[in-house]
Amino acid sequence: MPDFSILTKYFGLYMEGFMNTIYSSIIALLGSFVLGTVIAVFRISSIKPLRWGGTIYVEFIRNIPLLLVVYIFFWGLPALGITLSGFVCGTIGLTVYTAAFIAEAIRAGILSVPKGQTEAAQSSGLTYVQTMRHVVLPQAIKIVIPPLSNQFINLVKNSSVLSVIAGLDLMYFGDRIASKTYATFDTYIFVAVFYLVLTLPLSYAANHLERRLAKHG
């Protein structure tokens, strides 16, 4: 049975880490969705430099560990004279890493939209950018709601990487509490509960949205 006195005594620290995890996840979620969408469009562009750039980005980021991406910003930027907090570096790293996976999901969605949709839009006078924005992307994103939802849930869990660079997230404060109490098991059980408070509603909302979209065709 977990020692609930740990939760009550250090509730303030838990909540500080919990809120920072929410902030980091929301920022990274929005940033990775925008960046991932841009990269996905680059990946299917007829302009070779854009297509090559998008491909290199996705293949490079997807095949290295998230921790290494975070380290590149946390340890690499100071070498260029740019010093950022662990929270900022971790959030940027999380954004850049997740964007590569979102880009592939959205690219798959774009390719699944019938080419006739694009041809019809462009024949009506829309530019390539307008066609992607108003015709193709809305359909593509609707198609890839399930994988996108999974990526967003993974993003919340991956935010624990901030703890290794003093990112002030939930896992970071969990480590601090464990070092104070020496009750490692109990401390991390409560950390897990806080993560569940974040991920379970997201999972339920994603399933509900998926069913709703399927119901409406």
Residue 216 binned pLDDT confidence (cut-offs 50, 70, 90): low
CATH dotted code for 4-215? 1.10.3720.10
Q: Mean pLDDT in the chain?
A: 89
What confidence score (pLDDT) does residue 14 get? 95
Residue with tokens 């006195």: 5
24-81 pLDDT, tens per residue? 999 999 999 999 999 999 998 888 999 999 999 999 999 999 999 999 999 999 988 8
The closest of 159, 140, 205, 214 to 17, measured between CA atoms, is: 159
Contact 24, 90 (CB under 8 A): yes
pTM, entire model: 0.89
Count of CB atoms within 10 A of residue 146's CB? Answer: 14
Q: What are the DSSP calls for 154-182, one per residue?
A: HHHHHGGGGGGGT---HHHHHHHHHHHH-
Residue 130 binned pLDDT confidence (cut-offs 50, 70, 90): confident
Considering only the C-alpha atoms of the chain, give the largest distance between any 2 of them, rounded to a whole number of Å: 68
Exposure string of 16-51, with b = 16+ CB inside 10 Å and e = fewer, is bbbebbbebbebbbebbbebbbbbbbbbebeeeebe
165-175 pLDDT, tens per residue? 989 999 999 99
Question: What six digits make up the tokens of 34?
Answer: 């925008």
